[in-house]
């Protein structure tokens, strides 16, 4: 079943790399009592994700947070080491929390997986942005294949 607006976000966890090492980020802690923009990309360092999807979230982070967002989080079916390296290469600093969904468990729990085997990528997350308020999805923006429109930072900003 695919997540839709009004649904409670499924429980799960991600991995992130901090100065203290690998850390689990539980969705209950990430979403409880907060407003979060959860952005998903098919792969770190892939052309559209790297050049056109993540950078505007970094650029518009202050404007997004000024609308009451506590956390902007970017997830991908990549490990935390890759997500950390991508975050550093993209100069995200503390503007975007980079989350590894290494096995694709959370993408599957959301019902938002895609088959990337034709590109040698295996099972990946679809491209999307979900606005979450206190654990409930208020806006679910899933891109059509090959598109980058409804999950952009600019579109999300217009929904806040």
Residue 128 domain-assigned (yes or no): yes
pLDDT tens, the chain, 160 aa long = 899 999 999 999 999 999 999 999 999 999 999 999 999 999 899 878 888 899 999 999 999 999 999 999 999 999 999 999 999 999 999 999 999 999 999 999 999 998 777 776 768 899 999 999 999 999 999 999 889 999 999 999 999 9
| C-alpha closest to that of 38 among 66, 15, 57 | 57
Place of tokens 């503390």: 94
* Domain range enclosing 28: 13-159
Residue 92 domain-assigned (yes or no): yes
- For 76, residues 6+ apart whose C-beta sits below 8 A from its C-beta are 40, 41, 42, 43, 44, 49, 82, 83, 99, 100, 101, 124, 125
- For 145, residues 6+ apart whose C-beta sits below 8 A from its C-beta are 114
Residue 6 domain-assigned (yes or no): no
74 catalytic? Reply is no
Measure the CA angle with vertex 116, ends 55 and 140; round to 5°: 55
Q: Where are any strands of DSSP class E within 42-84?
A: 71-76
This prediction has a pTM of 0.95
Q: Which of 25, 37, 41, 49 is catalytic?
A: 49
């Amino acid at each position: 079943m695919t997540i839709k607006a009004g649904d409670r976000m499924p429980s799960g966890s991600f991995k992130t790399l901090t100065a203290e090492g690998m850390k689990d980020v539980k969705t209950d802690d990430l979403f409880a009592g907060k407003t979060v923009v959860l952005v998903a990309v098919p792969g770190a360092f892939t052309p559209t994700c790297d050049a056109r999807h993540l950078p505007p979230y970094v650029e518009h982070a202050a404007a997004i947070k000024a609308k009451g967002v506590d956390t902007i989080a970017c997830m991908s079916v990549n490990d935390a080491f890759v997500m950390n390296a991508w975050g550093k290469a993209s100069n995200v600093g503390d503007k975007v929390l980079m989350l590894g969904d290494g096995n694709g468990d959370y993408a599957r729990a959301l019902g938002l997986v895609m088959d990337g085997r034709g590109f040698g990528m295996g099972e990946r997350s679809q491209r999307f942005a979900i606005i979450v308020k206190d654990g409930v999805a208020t806006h679910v923006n899933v891109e059509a294949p090959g598109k980058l429109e409804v999950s952009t930072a600019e579109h999300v900003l217009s929904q806040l």
